[in-house]
């Protein structure tokens, strides 16, 4: 102890292993080989089967040279262009290889779940694509990540086909056709599968058969290696690439289990899309707790209630839509918030037992706050935009761009996304606060407030409103005036929307209102004329 300090001990295989969620799957297959891992309609798998299928997928990909980025020496067949970026050697002598990217375009179904393990087990990187994107955007993503393989559910095959055409057209001769795998669903019409096979795709189950279920996969040597390349949902702008490493996926998966009190053998219903931030990493959490995944091809209220009643669902996630009809006798509700860049949820509005005694409206206000940081997160604060120093925790001071108000109890609350703030003559208006007031109006089901050009104020609030089904929609002019008068009684004068328009609101695949589309729409409108008042 005197010659060498204890901090100086060398790392070795006995005291250091790269963190990766892939081990969770191997463990689940060892501990609960016969427990149900995934139920998808009439298709059911055990953890042993899921592990075997993931190893088959990894093995089959490796046989097609889809791995850390070899030059295709392992037997490429047919039209397939393997990942063939250069293998480089760093100055420290380590191989710095480019990993192949495997894009998956699929709803919540076994293949996408398996891809989260099998693709990184092959040494490749998963890119789970939002199925609600259009062909142009998908083409951008596939080209951006140079996808070596595209796995696509039969329902989305023509969409993928179109995206590949766009990609090829945009690539200026550099396009290399990826390996196309079509995922058939026996509960669906077989015609699209037949069409895909004719177009040269290989069927997913056939592809798995080319792999070895006992495949000896290699965990990452460095936990910093990439497991997934995702893209932001595009709520505020066009998608941005987000790189997740094995370490982060492991930590987030295990934090989920702690924060959500998910005990071993929990049954998780996939109402959240698996492609959305890798299902907030719950995909890997389920393997860590040896639980059961319930996948629904179509997330309908009927299917959700049926799964809750018949399959013993213990947990599910949902995006907030401003409908306040929770049946507290069925479930307790946790409010969580996060971003793709933070592996999904990163704050939780932890409910305190003493709040149970408060009046419902106070409870709702407390619960609407984004709350405190996740157990796996080390830093969360609200800072002043001027000096980046923390703002006082007074529940009033508005601070840094994303996390907006810090309450005296340390809970934060989002007042607005920076892009959604409306700036009439330099005075900021929180569009979220205007919306919160409008939601109190009895006729409003959903509302989104954005900036519209204004002759006098440069920008002024403009409300897009969806009315409740039972509201008479005959006299919309009168309804709009009523809503404006209603907000006048509750908001500062310059916060009151200058105009209201009715109709359905555009939403992302995860149910979030796409404010940037409304903002663009409003921007193109003629400016509001100078007020006579």
Span 323-362, contacts to a copy of itself by CB under 8 A:
350, 352-353
- 3-state SS of 408-472? CCCCEECCCCHHHCECCCCCCECHHHHHHHHCCCCCEEEEEEEEEEECCCEEEEEEEEEECCCCC
Taking the complex as a whole, the smallest distance from the CB of residue 265 to a copy of itself amounts, in Å, to 8
- CB nearer a copy of itself, residue 23 or residue 494: 23
- CB nearer a copy of itself, residue 74 or residue 258: 258
Residue 54 contacts residue 25 (beta carbons within 8 Å): yes
Looking at 14-22, 199-207, 494-502, 514-522, which segment touches a copy of itself (CB under 8 A)? 14-22
Q: Residue 78: enclosing H or E segment and its boundaries?
A: none
Is residue 224 close enough to count as binding a copy of itself by CB under 8 A?
A: yes
Number of residues that bind a copy of itself (CB under 8 A): 59
Residue with tokens 């923390």, as numbered in its chain:
390
Looking at 94-102, 189-197, 356-364, 419-427, which segment touches a copy of itself (CB under 8 A)? 94-102
Q: 222-231 as b/e, with b when 16 or more CB fall inside 10 Å?
A: ebebbbbbbb
Binding residue for a copy of itself, selected from 109, 229, 450, 522, defined by CB under 8 A: 229
State how far the Cα of 143 lies from the Cα of 162, in Å rounded to an integer: 13
- CB nearer a copy of itself, residue 94 or residue 428: 94
Taking the complex as a whole, the smallest distance from the CB of residue 1 to a copy of itself amounts, in Å, to 6
Half-sphere exposure of 519 (CA within 13 A, CB side): 17
Cα-flanking dihedrals φ and ψ of residue 464, to 5°? -95, 125
* CA distances from residue 266 to 37, 281, 292, 340 in whole angstroms, order as listed: 11, 15, 6, 24
Is residue 98 close enough to count as binding a copy of itself by CB under 8 A?
A: yes
Span 284-313, contacts to a copy of itself by CB under 8 A:
288-289
Looking at 8-16, 195-203, 312-320, 420-428, which segment touches a copy of itself (CB under 8 A)? 8-16
- Provide the pairing of β-strand 372-373 with 344-348: antiparallel
Is residue 379 close enough to count as binding a copy of itself by CB under 8 A?
A: yes
What DSSP character marks residue 303? H
Span 234-293, contacts to a copy of itself by CB under 8 A:
241, 243, 248, 251, 254-255, 257-259, 261, 263-265, 288-289
Span 399-458, contacts to a copy of itself by CB under 8 A:
409-410
Taking the complex as a whole, the smallest distance from the CB of residue 373 to a copy of itself amounts, in Å, to 6
Is residue 382 close enough to count as binding a copy of itself by CB under 8 A?
A: no
Helices (H) and strands (E) in the chain, counts: 15, 22
State how far the Cα of 162 lies from the Cα of 105, in Å rounded to an integer: 13
- CB nearer a copy of itself, residue 12 or residue 474: 12
Looking at 9-17, 186-194, 299-307, 356-364, which segment touches a copy of itself (CB under 8 A)? 9-17
Span 135-194, contacts to a copy of itself by CB under 8 A:
144-146
- CB nearer a copy of itself, residue 152 or residue 412: 412
Joined together, the tokens standing for residue 96 give 């710095």
What DSSP character marks residue 214? T
Residues 6+ apart with CB under 8 A from 364: 324
324: helix, strand or coil: coil
Looking at 222-230, 322-330, 357-365, 509-517, which segment touches a copy of itself (CB under 8 A)? 222-230
A 10 A CB-CB count for 13 gives 6
Span 42-61, contacts to a copy of itself by CB under 8 A:
none
- Provide the pairing of β-strand 458-467 with 444-454: antiparallel
x/- mask, a copy of itself, residues 486-515, rule CB under 8 A, reads ------------------------------
Looking at 159-167, 318-326, 369-377, 482-490, which segment touches a copy of itself (CB under 8 A)? 369-377
State how far the Cα of 300 lies from the Cα of 311, in Å rounded to an integer: 16
Looking at 36-44, 220-228, 314-322, 510-518, which segment touches a copy of itself (CB under 8 A)? 220-228
How many degrees, rounded to 5, is the angle at CA 438 between CA 482 and CA 472?
50
- Provide the pairing of β-strand 36-40 with 43-46: antiparallel
Nearest CA among 198, 14, 220, 254 for reference residue 117: 220
Looking at 210-218, 368-376, 437-445, 469-477, which segment touches a copy of itself (CB under 8 A)? 368-376
- CB nearer a copy of itself, residue 189 or residue 409: 409
What DSSP character marks residue 143? H
Which residue ranges make up the site for a copy of itself (CB under 8 A)? 1-2, 5-9, 11, 15, 17, 19, 23-24, 27, 30-33, 69, 85, 96-99, 125, 144-146, 219, 224-226, 229, 241, 243, 248, 251, 254-255, 257-259, 261, 263-265, 288-289, 350, 352-353, 372-373, 375-376, 378-379, 409-410
């Amino acid at each position: 102890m005197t010659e060498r300090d204890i901090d100086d001990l060398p790392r070795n295989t006995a005291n250091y292993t790269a963190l990766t969620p892939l081990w969770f799957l191997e463990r689940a297959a060892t501990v609960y080989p016969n427990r149900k891992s995934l139920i998808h309609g009439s298709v059911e798998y055990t953890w042993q089967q899921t592990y075997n299928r993931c190893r088959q997928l990894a093995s089959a990909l490796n046989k097609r040279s889809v791995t850390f980025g070899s030059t295709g020496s392992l037997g490429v067949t047919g039209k397939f262009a393997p990942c063939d970026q250069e293998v480089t050697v760093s100055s420290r002598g380590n191989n710095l290889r480019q990993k192949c990217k495997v894009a998956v375009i699929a709803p919540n179904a076994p293949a996408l779940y398996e891809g989260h393990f099998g693709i990184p087990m092959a040494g490749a990187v998963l890119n789970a694509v939002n199925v609600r994107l259009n062909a142009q955007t998908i083409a951008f993503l596939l080209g951006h990540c140079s996808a070596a393989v595209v796995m696509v559910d039969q329902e989305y095959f023509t969409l993928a086909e179109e995206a590949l055409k766009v990609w090829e057209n945009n690539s200026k001769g550099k396009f290399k056709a990826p390996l196309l795998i079509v995922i058939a669903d026996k509960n669906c019409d077989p015609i699209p599968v037949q069409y895909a096979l004719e177009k040269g795709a290989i069927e997913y189950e056939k592809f798995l058969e080319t792999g070895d279920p006992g495949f000896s996969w290699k965990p990452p040597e460095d936990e910093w290696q990439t497991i997934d390349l995702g893209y932001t949902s595009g709520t505020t702008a066009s998608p941005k690439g987000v790189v997740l490493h094995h370490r982060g996926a492991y930590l987030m998966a295990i934090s989920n289990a702690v924060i959500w009190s998910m005990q071993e053998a929990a049954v998780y219903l996939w109402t959240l899309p698996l492609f959305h931030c890798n299902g907030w990493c719950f995909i890997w959490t389920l393997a860590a707790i040896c639980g059961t995944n319930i996948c629904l091809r179509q997330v309908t209220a009927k299917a959700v209630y049926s799964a809750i009643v018949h399959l013993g669902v213990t947990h599910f996630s949902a995006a907030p839509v401003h409908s306040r009809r929770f049946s507290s006798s069925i479930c307790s509700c946790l409010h969580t918030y996060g971003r793709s860049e933070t592996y999904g949820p990163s704050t939780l509005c932890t409910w305190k037992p003493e709040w149970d005694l408060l009046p419902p409206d106070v409870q709702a206000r407390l619960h609407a706050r984004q709350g405190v940081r996740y157990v796996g997160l080390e830093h969360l604060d609200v800072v002043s935009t001027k000096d980046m120093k923390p703002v006082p925790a007074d529940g009033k001071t508005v601070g840094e761009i994303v996390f907006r108000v810090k309450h005296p109890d340390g809970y934060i609350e989002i007042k607005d996304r920076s892009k959604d703030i409306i700036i009439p003559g330099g005075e900021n208006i929180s569009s979220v606060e205007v919306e919160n007031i409008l939601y109190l109006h009895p006729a409003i089901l959903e509302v989104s407030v954005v900036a519209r050009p204004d002759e006098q104020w440069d920008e002024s609030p403009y409300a897009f409103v969806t009315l409740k089904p039972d509201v008479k929609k005959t006299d919309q002019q009168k309804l709009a005036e009523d809503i404006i008068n209603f907000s006048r009684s509750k908001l500062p004068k310059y916060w009151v929307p200058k105009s209201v328009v009715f109709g359905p609101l555009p939403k992302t695949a995860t149910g979030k209102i796409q404010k940037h589309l409304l903002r663009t729409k409003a921007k193109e409108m003629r400016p509001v004329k100078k007020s006579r008042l």
